[in-house]
Structure 1
């Protein structure tokens, strides 16, 4: 086993001293590892700061206690680091991937993504995972010698394919990308081979499942806070119902807010414990002895047990109709999509209405490039800024609440 400080590392952990490097070579800067530097660069980026005013499910003016993209991201970081520590993986790389996973989200959550994807249907579409890669490789401009953040290969690989392979070995898109790869992925693949046909390294897989755990739990919490459903509606939900029964049996008469908090923390703990146990079992069974072996395994190493995977799927199955498709949420998000469609139409017709920095080196007659530039501009907006810009150019701007 390799050793980092006093903590033993798993044989299949990524090794920061053996990184495949950066697109633009840079000298090491001890005592920070290459992956720690990736974390720091993401934290200091403009895109990361803007997450605090981007919708998770509820828009900013519905209340200060609902999650935003930033608070969601921080919760994903906490879960990812917990799992990585328990498995002996590189915590800094897991953190970097958790920090970066939503940088490409436009305003108004998945509704905003759907709106921009429709606007770009003739130009390769819009995919928030691909846009995260575009943000850290092109859009961020903080350094004198390169665009982007010049993150390590392992971090870029994890951003691009933390949910699994994007292509077959011949480079043909698979799954949701069977019709073609997103523009940002294709553009970067011409500069750097991220081996899109393999699974990502173990830390990227940890970040992906940490995302699932975090939003399963905090969406239940936010849905209860918003009164889209009640605590008793969870009694028959696998995992959640058991935790609720346990809390009520142990703390009779406990008020609802504390009951909910006790249930949610138990739920997070049990999901994390299952991932750790199942991943350790898979690692022992497969005999993987390096991060490269994890990529080449042909199936995910990190995951839930069969029993808990079905229970976790039931949570998502509950949230879809009771929260994501709740009439109140749907109405607001439909109005939000209209805001982004209006902005896209305005800026493609009158690109000089964008700030001067977004017009640099842009040929207004080059429709594909113009559409992509407008999408980059809108995609980086916060909810508030998108509404402010809409009010600037249009007579009627919806009050999203």
Structure 2
């Protein structure tokens, strides 16, 4: 009897791309393994270090149909990193990977209103732009900038046929795992809202307004308020061609409680634009451009312009090449600290960075997919030991249960 029930479930689960059940949850489970060669794990201009990194992991996507209209979903991606040449990096600061799409979400439908409560958790290590801080001494290219990013909030959409009113509130917490980066621990409270208008079947116009409050735990960086407002548009020009874009005026109000010597009050236009084109049934590509103000490490903000091209090619049922190329230009609003000799040094970085990445997926069977990727990055900075070259080769394996 048990075997018969299990067989019936397996048939249902496969029909929904899910492969096991836990209570009322249906799950899709996959295991991954990556072997990475990195010729500059410390993002260094001088004395770069290379290593081979082993990264096993799992991804788990689940849903629970609470009622006909209410759904609880869980998406988890977690992995482990083992450094073969530098085992000292196998610590809490570096060994863990939690994908940015890891979340728990609960969706409620009430007539024309959709309400989603969510909590999104990520853990990452990226020393490419981080400054370390030991007391008042600034260091560059640290290897242990691990941090948790948790975003909890609620989004509401009210569908009035040709008009959709949306609003959201969220809190984001950045939690570093090394005392060298305790100064980056912060909490951001954000409000967003506005209307979207269905002007035509293929054209949506709208306005988006935001407001936020950013607070640091330590008095190194400056706390701030900010707001932005501006239009957005989505145009499905044809079945194979679409455009999207948004632009807004953003203004910051920073206090002077920090010790970074940055008194700037940045403001200006931010936004993004993208065009996506399906060349054929097997080839699609996109081009996007963006400008944003991001909170700096030892500055109020980092102004970043970026341009990205990406493509995906489903060559046949087994082989799928893909790739991307990007360029970005960044500029800090100010900031300073002290070097190891006690002399003041500027932490206001101006940099350019470009990179390319190409890869190919090969489907061995319905359950097993292999991949091979190559990525190259070059950053050029005005600050000492902040420029670097980096090459990465990744061999991947994925098994869908």
Which TM class, normalised by the smaller chain length? Answer: under 0.3
Larger helix proportion of the pair: 1
TM-score, reference length from structure 2: 0.25
Larger strand proportion of the pair: 2
TM-score, reference length from structure 1: 0.25
